[in-house]
A = this chain, B = another copy of it.
Amino acid sequence: MARNPTMIDVATEAGVALKTVSRYVNGADNINDAMAARIAAAITKLGYRRNLAAASIRPGWTSKTVGLLISDLANPYYSSIARGAESVLTEAGYLLITASSEEDGATHDRLVDSLFERQVDAIIVVPPRSPGRSWSSVREPHPPVVFIDRPAALDGADTIVADNRGGAREAVELLRSTHGDVAFLGDSLSIYTMQERYLGYVDALRARGEQPDPTLANTGAHSEEQAYAAAIALLQTGRAGAIFAANNRATIGALRAFAHEDVRLPLIGFDDFEAATLVRPAVSVVSQDPQAMGRLAAEVVLQRLAREATTPARFEVLPTSLVLRGSELD
């Protein structure tokens, strides 16, 4: 296997000095036209490809690469975030290294180190559910970190989250104002987004001067199966007049329970999903825009990279939207 041609080879071939080739490749304008043409020809002839890794070890130069650490790339929510970030970054000449932490702190920490070793210019991070080492223990200086989807336990960090609380509140307000008591069906409150959504649920009730009824809140729906069972139980008590399903699994579990029991309650779910428009009645949801979150995170990264690093941290809460399709009615 022949060696890759280097700048020296190009310079020799073109009969110019190494530095002139470097200038040419970097788009400098002060180059003699004839030389430029000779260099261009040599590059094509040799099939020269620049070694960006070698360039990036020089002080002031960077890898033009950004890391993205999410829970699971196969999850459409996170892959949409990735896509959003990717589109903004490639536009700016950066490439995206993606990695999945599977919500595990140790895996997460290992991947962070791996990313840093590869000299990424910045990383965008979904803090894992089971936390690893604290961020403050990571030696400065390190590339800028932008948190997404959930805030990290770190002051003054750039953070992009969705308005989980506001979205939930809006949905529950609507359900409560037109129906009886609203049940909360979701996962553990130790999960940040779930807790926010629960707080929104409480907000909506409090705003009407009501207290949440603990027996109407089920936070044990860790799987679709558990959500289904919880929904069945809920239907059988007959105590709820409507259901707020705090994530996709809960929504689908509730739908299955409706089908099984052959009854249904007014329902709004959190997070949109493909099947929502296919079932009858179509499912109303609180919808967030993960791709926009990814794009914004990438923009914050670029801004950090451009500015001299000490602009104040941005904490952005992206609005959600209530998409009404019919399931919120009787």
User: What is the interface of chain A, defined by CB distance below 8 A to chain B?
Assistant: 1-2, 4, 46-47, 49-54, 56-57, 63-65, 72-74, 76, 79-80, 82-84, 86-87, 90, 95-100, 111, 113-119, 138-142, 252, 255-256, 259, 273-275, 278-280, 291, 309
Contacts and interface: CB of A to CB of B under 8 A. Distances in A.
A189 B90 CA distance: 31
A84 B98 CA distance: 12
A142 B275 CA distance: 44
Contacts of A138: 47
Contact of A96 (B52, B83, B97, B142): B97
Closest 3 pairs (CB-CB, A-B)? A47-B139, A275-B275, A79-B79
B279 A275 contact: yes
Contacts of A87: 100
Nearest to A44: B139
Contacts of A111: 90
A273 B76 CA distance: 12
Nearest to A310: B1
B52 A118 contact: yes
Nearest to A137: B47
25 contacts: A1-B141, A47-B138, A47-B140, A52-B117, A53-B56, A64-B118, A65-B97, A72-B83, A73-B82, A73-B83, A73-B86, A74-B291, A76-B76, A76-B79, A90-B99, A95-B97, A96-B98, A97-B97, A97-B98, A252-B278, A256-B278, A259-B280, A274-B275, A275-B275, A278-B278
**A interface secondary structure, majority:** mixed
Oligomer copy total: 2
A67 B50 CA distance: 17
Nearest to A283: B278
A50 B114 CA distance: 10
Given A97-B65, A278-B252, A279-B279, A49 B83 contact: no
A118 B255 contact: no
Most central of A1, A73, A278 by chain B CB within 10 Å: A73
A288 B213 CA distance: 45
Nearest to A80: B74
B82 A49 contact: no
Nearest to A89: B99
A85 to B, nearest CB: 9
A54 B57 CA distance: 6
Contacts of A256: 278
Given A97-B65, A97-B95, A51 B83 contact: no
Contacts of A79: 73-74, 76, 79, 82
A252 B275 CA distance: 10
B275 A117 contact: no
Nearest to A63: B53
Contact of A278 (B49, B255, B291): B255
